[in-house]
Amino acid sequence: MKHDRRAFLAAGSLAGLTPLAASGSSPAVEPLPGPRRTNPIALSTYSLWRFRNDELRDMDRCIDIAEQYGFDGIEFLLYQVGQNELLSRSRRMAYKRRAQRLGLPIMGLSTHQGFVTPDREKRRFNIDRTIAQIEIAYDLGIPVIRVNTGTWGTSKDFDELMANRGIESPVEGYTDEDAYPWVIEAFEACLPTAEKCGIVLGLENHWGLGLTPEGILRIVDAVDSPWLQITTDTGNFLEDPYQRLEKLAPRTVLVQAKTYFGGGQWYTLDLDYPRIARILGDAGYRGWVSLEFEGKEDWKTAIPKSLSLLRRAFSRL
């Protein structure tokens, strides 16, 4: 019963798939000796579902697509998993078995929470939800989860927030300065469970108090724990991205890499990925890069192009 309650709190087939290579016999390729050639590249299930493509919401299909297209791992967007699946531990374990059989690690869990509110009860609910998300990640063998500060909620919807370039007015009577202690206190409440489960929380540059590198670092430095570090999203700094990414790189434990083939859904950034890879590499980052495709091109062509782009950029040769 406790598992079901936590799963509830955490809720926030390949037919038609074109093979990348024709079937048939081919000579075996002798692997080259030495270290791996690139950072490991994962597919975020967000790249397929995008909150609107219902035919691609099914996690089994997403797992199969990630394997078919040659990714090294898969990142789950928790919001994409239906409530019934979350309530069923056997269903969650079925995802784990499927990915394991395909040799595809479930390497990350992208979650949502909101601590930017003066309402203590709402913050407590989101703390409980985040703790439940940590326990789901532990259940699935996932080592890192993406977390957010949340936003003030004064925008009409996400489209309006994006039209305002992620900038949002605080609730009347409050300022961002009031919100920092709420967010810091909330993450501190989550850390005992994160440490017990061995799950690193990666705070993303994702609007709210995470709009700037200074905001992210202020929270991470105040909490001062190895269990709260940074998820670096390459597409969430709309101005001066490289200088800002450089500030986050030393504390980065997960990279979410945006691509915009066909033009972006909300905006398009012309990102220099070899430069981004050098910034992260110079800071000692050798970990996962998770593709978040956010363009309008058909995913069947855009996702292979995105994977090729990231493979070339994050080469370690």
Residues 283-293 have a mean pLDDT of 97
For residues 55 and 299, the answer to whether their CB atoms sit within 8 Å is: no
Residues 4-9 have a mean pLDDT of 49
Domain contains 212: yes
Is the pTM higher than 0.85? yes
Domain contains 28: no
CATH number at residue 83: 3.20.20.150
Residue 12 has pLDDT above 80, yes or no: no
Domain contains 26: no
Residue range 301-317, pLDDT digits in tens: 999 999 999 999 999 75
- Output the pLDDT for position 33: 65
Specify the length of the chain in residues: 317
- pLDDT band at residue 57 under the 50/70/90 scheme: very high
Classify each residue of 131-169 as buried b or exposed e, where b means 16 or more C-beta atoms within 10 Å of its C-beta.
bbbbbbbbbeebbbbbbbbbbbeebeeeeebbeeebebe
255 in helix, strand or coil? Answer: strand
Q: Indicate the helix (H) or strand (E) that contains 181.
A: helix 176-197
Residue 1 has pLDDT above 60, yes or no: no
Domain ranges, residue 256: 4-8+36-313
Domain contains 22: no
Q: Which residue has the higher pLDDT, 42 or 24?
A: 42
- Output the pLDDT for position 32: 58
For residue 292, what are the β-bridge partners? 258
302 in helix, strand or coil? Answer: helix
264 in helix, strand or coil? Answer: strand
- Output the pLDDT for position 203: 98
Domain contains 18: no
Give the span between the Cα atoms of 224 and 221, in whole angstroms.
5
For residues 149 and 201, the answer to whether their CB atoms sit within 8 Å is: no
Residue range 160-188, pLDDT digits in tens: 887 777 788 899 999 999 999 999 999 99
Domain contains 96: yes
Domain contains 56: yes
Sequence-separated contacts (24+) of 301-306 with Cβ below 8 Å: 301/261, 302/259, 302/261, 302/262, 303/43, 303/47, 303/48, 303/65, 303/69, 304/20, 304/69, 305/259, 305/261, 306/47, 306/257, 306/259, 306/261
Domain contains 266: yes
Q: How many domains does the chain have?
A: 1
Residues 291-304 have a mean pLDDT of 96
The mean predicted confidence, pLDDT, of the chain is 89
- Output the pLDDT for position 317: 59
Residues 284-299 have a mean pLDDT of 96
Residues 6+ apart with CB under 8 A from 91: 84, 85
Q: Which range among 41-55, 69-83, 120-134, 163-177 has the greatest average pLDDT? A: 120-134
Residue range 85-121, pLDDT digits in tens: 777 889 999 999 999 999 999 999 999 999 999 999 9
